[in-house]
Amino acid sequence: MTTIAVLGNGRVGGNLAAALTRAGHEVTVADRTPGAAADAARTARIVINATPGDGSLERLTALREELRGKILVDVSNATADGPDGLPGELLHPGSSLAEQLQEALPGTHVVKTLNTMLFPVMTAPAMLTRAPDAFLSGEDPQAKQTVRELLNDLGWHDEWITDLGGIRTARATEAAILFVPHVIRANGFSPFAISIAR
């Protein structure tokens, strides 16, 4: 059992919190109440950023001390919405939210994952007709191994998880969000994930 704080109680955060609780972890969900995120982060071993990506950097930088020495699992994408409310463009072109977080939080082990799919797939990858892929980006091998084990608890088989390397590789998976609005417009909100055919 691991103590986990989920920052963000929307569809993504709520879905992850429920699945990780079912897997036997001790999970706290922090909403927007003042001080809730700091309290949750302070007592957790792993913190999951499921806050809207356009405000994540500011919110998490304010938690620098609470996040020191922790693993920060970043599942968000930092985008500006288009006219229809779907992701329109990246807020950190030539970089990524994960890289910005790692730079702002040097005492924290940032691992990027689960950001290349619609949220239901995060906790039920077997729902798709073909095996999906989850990607890991981060500087610390031990932190990535811990996150890999969390993904296993969520139903991800090891062969579905690809370690891309350092945190700089997150700019590739974050750019994949630009596929999402076009796929949704073409097929609706049916669950899907970006996968590599092998």
pLDDT value of position 85: 83
pLDDT tens string 122-167 = 999 999 999 999 999 999 999 999 999 999 999 999 999 999 999 9
Burial 78-98 (b: 16+ CB within 10 A, else e): bbeeeeeeebeebbbeebbbb
**15 Cβ partners below 8 Å, 6+ apart?**
119, 120, 122, 123
pTM: 0.96
Q: For domain 3-187, which architecture applies?
A: 3-Layer(aba) Sandwich (3.40)
pLDDT tens string 27-78 = 999 987 878 999 999 999 999 999 999 999 999 999 999 999 999 999 999 9
